[in-house]
Chain A
Amino acid sequence: MDLSYTDEEQAFRAEVRDWLAETLPRDLSEKVRLGKRMSKQDVEHWHRLLNAKGWLAPNWPKKYGGAEWNAVQRQIFEEEACLAHAPRTLPFGLSMLAPVLMAFGSEEQRQRFLPGLLDGTNWWCQGYSEPGAGSDLAAVKTRAVREGDEYVVNGQKTWTTLGQHADWIFCLVRTDPDAKKQEGISFLLIDMTSPGVTVRPIVLIDGEAEVNEVFFDNVRVPAENLVGEENKGWTYAKYLLTHERTNIAGVGFSTAALDTVKHVAQNVKSGGKPLTENPHFAARLAQVEIDLMAMATTNLRVVSAAAKGEAPGAESSMLKVKGTVIRQELTSLLRRAVGPDALPFQPDYLEGGDNAEMMGPEHAATAGPSYFNMRKLSIFGGSNEVQRTIITKAIIGL
Chain B
Amino acid sequence: MDFNLTEERRMLQDTLSRFLADKYDHDSRRKGIASGRPFDPDIYAGLAELGVLGALFTEDQGGFGGMGFDLSVVFEELGRAGVIEPLLPAVLTGSLIADRTDLVEEVIAGESIVALACTESQARYDLDNVETSVVDGKLNGTKVHVLNGAQASSLVVVARESGKTTDQDGIALFLVPTDAKGVTIVDYTNNDGTSGATVTFVDVALDETNRLPGGYAALEAAVARGVLALSAEALGAMETAKALTIEYLKERKQFGVPIGKFQALQHRMADVLIEVEQARSAVINLAGHLEADRTTRERNVSATKNLIGRVGAQVVEESVQMHGGIGMTDEYALSHFTRRITMIDHWFGDVDHHLARFIALSAA
Contacts and interface: CB of A to CB of B under 8 A. Distances in A.
A291 B307 contact: yes
Given A297-B285, A304-B1, A385-B267, A290 B358 contact: yes
A314 B277 CA distance: 11
Contacts of A290: 282, 303, 306-307, 355, 358
B201 interface: no
Given A298-B278, A389-B266, A395-B273, A9 B249 contact: no
Contacts of B359: 282-283, 286
B96 to A, nearest CB: 25
A391 B285 contact: no
Interface stretch (B2-10, B15-23, B105-113, B147-155): B2-10
A276 interface: yes
Contact of B258 (A287, A322, A385, A398): A398
A322 B355 contact: no
Contacts of A276: 363
Contacts, number: 122
Given A286-B362, A396-B250, A398-B258, A387 B270 contact: yes
A295 B281 contact: yes
A6 interface: yes
Given A1-B288, A283-B359, A298-B278, A396 B3 contact: no
Contacts of B284: 1, 3, 297, 301
A393 B306 contact: no
Interface SS of A by simple majority: helix
B270 A398 contact: no
Interface in A287-338: 287, 289-291, 293-298, 300-301, 304-305, 314-315, 318, 321-322
A297 B281 contact: yes
Contact of B358 (A286, A301, A318): A286
B246 interface: yes
How big is the B interface, by class?
35 or more
B269 interface: yes
B75 interface: no
B260 interface: yes
Given A318-B274, A318-B277, A294 B307 contact: yes
The 8 closest A-B pairs by CB, nearest first: A388-B270, A297-B281, A3-B288, A392-B266, A391-B270, A294-B281, A388-B267, A290-B303
Interface of A: 1-6, 9, 72, 276, 282-283, 286-287, 289-291, 293-298, 300-301, 304-305, 314-315, 318, 321-322, 385, 387-389, 391-393, 395-398
22 contacts: A1-B3, A1-B5, A1-B9, A4-B1, A287-B355, A290-B355, A290-B358, A291-B278, A294-B303, A295-B281, A297-B282, A304-B1, A315-B277, A389-B266, A389-B270, A391-B273, A391-B274, A392-B270, A396-B250, A396-B269, A397-B250, A398-B261
